[in-house]
Amino acid sequence: MSKKIKILIGGGCGYVGSALVPELLEHGYSVTVIDLCWFGNNLPEEVPVIKKDLLSCDREDLRGYDQFIFLGGISNDPMAELYPAKNFIYNAALPAYLAFEAKYADIKRFIYASTCSVYGYTVDQLYDENDLIKCNYPYGVSKLQGERGIFQMENGMSIIALRKGTISGHSPRMRFDLIVNTMFKYAMTENQITVNNPSIWRPILDIRDAVSAYIRAVQVDYSIRGIFNISSDNYTVGQIGDYVKQELEKLSGNKIKLNIKNMHDLRNYKVKCDLAKTKLGFQPQYNIKDIIEDLWNHRQEYKNMTDNKYINLEVFKKVNESI
């Protein structure tokens, strides 16, 4: 009789974890989550959730598991810029520390939630995992440091870092501070979309493709390790605004105004995902239109889309006031 693979997820109650955990259960994995539940707990009832600060965890907390998935940390540029010290602690030091403890707890694989934000400004080039990184923003820099820290523990443990594009789409722990989701929110609540800079590029990742990437990372042979770009496709922000406007006008029957600004932004990147397709077997299935349709189909669940509970920065501000 084959043994169930036991997976421990740090920060598994958030936006990605709330979509990933049910799929891991469907695939027959045993899942436990460590999370302080700042964003609530929307996981299936049968999933054990250990309420503990990841900074307080050690190898005894990790012992007995086959794989560790790190989904914790500061999740975007606004949070990183408001709390720069916490950003570097949670995104750079914490994953490095946990990888160190995981190695000595005999964890076979450590999977790190990285980001394509590490690429910074790439002009018009499609970047792969070996291209030069030019990020000067705290969020991208801290995530890059997190990558470098975990790979110091590579000897004897399979380490996979997923450099994900900007995730959007529906999750049981919903967010409206992600590019497609944000445009969807304003189109639905104000009948308008603001595009700050239509010419800059973003790799967009449907949350269902993100979940698929994590499952592929869990499943591949333990000889596989390294950094992998993960995205559904690359779009300009102007393209994204057009798609959200066009699709929601068809779905809602309402006219939606498009506000185009030309704000300076040094975050401009688009990526190749060939390595993930070759090594992990990752194959994206969704596009921008699929994300918009997914959000539309769940719209009744969101109720007040302007509620600050959907904005990670606002939730984190409240958490910091109480600690």
Phi, psi of 17 (to 5 degrees): -60, -35
Arithmetic mean of pLDDT over the chain = 94
Judged against a pLDDT cut of 90, whether residue 169 lies above it is answered with yes
At 115-141, the pLDDT tens digits run: 999 998 877 789 999 998 878 889 999
CATH topology of domain 6-322: Rossmann fold (3.40.50)
pLDDT at 168: 97
pLDDT at 41: 97
At 37-74, the pLDDT tens digits run: 999 999 999 999 999 999 999 999 999 999 999 999 99
pLDDT at 43: 98
pLDDT at 323: 58
Q: Considering only residues 318 and 209, tell me which one the structure prediction assigns the higher pLDDT.
A: 209
pLDDT at 262: 79
pLDDT at 123: 76
% of the chain residues with pLDDT over 90: 88
The string of DSSP letters for 52-76 reads --GGG--HHHHTT-SEEEE--S--S
Mean of pLDDT values over 251-276 = 90
pLDDT at 156: 87
% of the chain residues with pLDDT over 70: 99
Q: Please report, for residues 80, 113, 145, 149, 313, the alpha-carbon distance to residue 140 in angstroms, rounded to integers and kept in the order given.
A: 9, 12, 9, 14, 16
Of 13, 280, 20, residue with least CA distance to 158: 280
At 183-212, the pLDDT tens digits run: 999 999 999 999 999 999 999 999 999 999
pLDDT at 2: 65
Mean of pLDDT values over 295-309 = 96
At 142-168, the pLDDT tens digits run: 999 999 999 999 888 999 999 999 999
Domain ranges of the chain: 6-322
Which of these ranges, 28-37, 199-208, 311-320, has the smallest mean pLDDT?
311-320
Beta bridge partners of 163: 114, 229
Q: Output the pTM of the full model.
A: 0.96
pLDDT at 73: 92
pLDDT at 189: 97
The structure tokens listed for 230 are 């993960």
Q: Let me know the angle formed at the C-alpha of 165 by 272 and 120, rounded to the nearest 5 degrees.
A: 80
Beta bridge partners of 9: 33, 69
Cβ count within 10 A of residue 278: 10
